[in-house]
Amino acid sequence: MPEKLTNKGNKKVVMADGADHISALPDELLQYLLSFLPSREAVQTCVLSQRWRHQWKYVPALRINDVDSFYSVQQLNKFVHHLLMHRKRTPLYVCELDSFRNGEVAEWYQYAVSCEVEMLQVDTAHSADYCRLPEMAITSNHLTTLEFSGVQLGHLSLDFSSCPKLEVLVMRGCKILVQKILSQSVRSLSITQCNFELNTRTHISAPSLISLELADILGWTPALERLPSLSTAFVRLDDRCEDYCLHSYYGDCGDQVSCGKHCTRFYDIHDDDCVLLGGLSNVTNLELITSPKVFIVRKDLLMRPTFSKLKTLLLNVSDADAGFGPLVYILRSSPVLEKLTLQLYEEPKAKIETDGSCNLVEQLMASKKLKVVEIKYSKIVVLCRVLQILNTCGVPRKKISIERTELWSFGSHFSFEQT
């Protein structure tokens, strides 16, 4: 293979025969290669030669993702202003937007949508404050993937009905001030570390949704409307969730001193509807991890949802749950369950009182299709109680695999791929 040489005079890469083979490539291929660079670096290639002078103007990508290379937000805004002013309005395959505080992200966002962007990412998580985007519905026949990070979303609704090709929606570390998230086309939805700040529940309507991740939220748990296509879900609600009660199993202790409003206005939906489990009732694979203080799953179980398609379940179990109600109920309501993974741990604080109404072991037989039960535990006391329940349910000991770990505390996470 010919040896690569560097001509320091014009910074072009040439081969041993002296030919600049890269510059000889077609324009479309050069622009494609430049699309993988941050936009600032793509623009800098204009000094390589006359052949490269205008290539950056036609690159099908905007990547404003290297903000740390700018001295100030003013310098960043100035660069992007000139970039968008001189760039040809060719369609964008991908656009990544990042900024300091007071960056003009909203204008860049609107520009990307106007250029028929297919994959749009707005990430201002490292900024000192949430970035505010225009409070208007997006209209795009080209957008397929939309990711928000560190963004404030605050209108009556996030209505993506005018984005018929949108399939992937990600919200990470955002402030969500909307009453409803609506999309007819989204197939994958991820909401993590977001702050739901309304005094009412945000409702999620996504009838085409196949995959859901809802984890580590602040505020009230969003209400899932009917999700008939949902197949895989990961839900983790920790102590930051405001659907908690320190004393009552179902969140109705009425103690406004220690629990505040959280257990006195717990539902904010119709009395016969679920918040979470109704939307999860069609899943095939489910990971459900909740803090013992969070009552929303236990309250949902009173609505008697069924899980007729559930084959793989990962569930955390705490000794604070005296009757292991969620485990017992879900086992009874999952007739085709094949694999069960249990994460057991001790809750160091006082146990939450229960009325025992979910302790239905005497009425329960586990799914006849159950092949594998994997248990990960730290304390033998909790393990023995769970084994007793499984034995009463008719689960033979040979199907149960047990692993001890010293690291269990609430929030530890493992997934199906790790088990």
293-332 pLDDT per residue, tens = 888 888 888 888 999 999 999 998 875 565 677 888 888 8
What are the C-alpha distances in Å from 306 to residues 23, 279, 335, 378? 62, 11, 9, 30
CA nearest to 104, candidates 128, 134, 125: 134
Taking only the tens place, the pLDDT of each residue in 166-181 is 999 999 999 999 999 9
5-7 and 12-14 strand pairing: antiparallel
> Which of 160, 159, 145, 65 is CA-nearest to residue 105?
65
CA 184 to chain CA centroid, Å, is 18
Please tell me the predicted confidence (pLDDT) of residue 383.
86
Would you tell me how many other CB atoms lie within 10 Å of the CB of residue 54?
Answer: 12
Instruction: Indicate if the alpha-carbon torsion angle 13, 17, 22, 23 is positive or negative.
Output: positive
pLDDT at site 418: 40
pLDDT by residue (tens digit) across 361-392?
445 566 788 889 999 988 787 888 888 888 88
Confidence at residue 414, expressed as pLDDT on a 0 to 100 scale = 42
The pLDDT of residue 254 is: 65
Instruction: Give the pLDDT of residue 256.
Output: 61
Residue at token pair 């149960």: 400
Predicted TM-score of the model (pTM): 0.86
Phi, psi of 314 (to 5 degrees): -115, 125
User: Where are any strands of DSSP class E within 71-143?
Assistant: 94-98, 119-123, 131-132
Which positions of the chain have pLDDT values less than 70? Answer: 1-20, 101-102, 125-128, 156, 251-272, 319-323, 346-366, 406-419
Q: Which residues are bridge partners to 390 per DSSP?
A: none
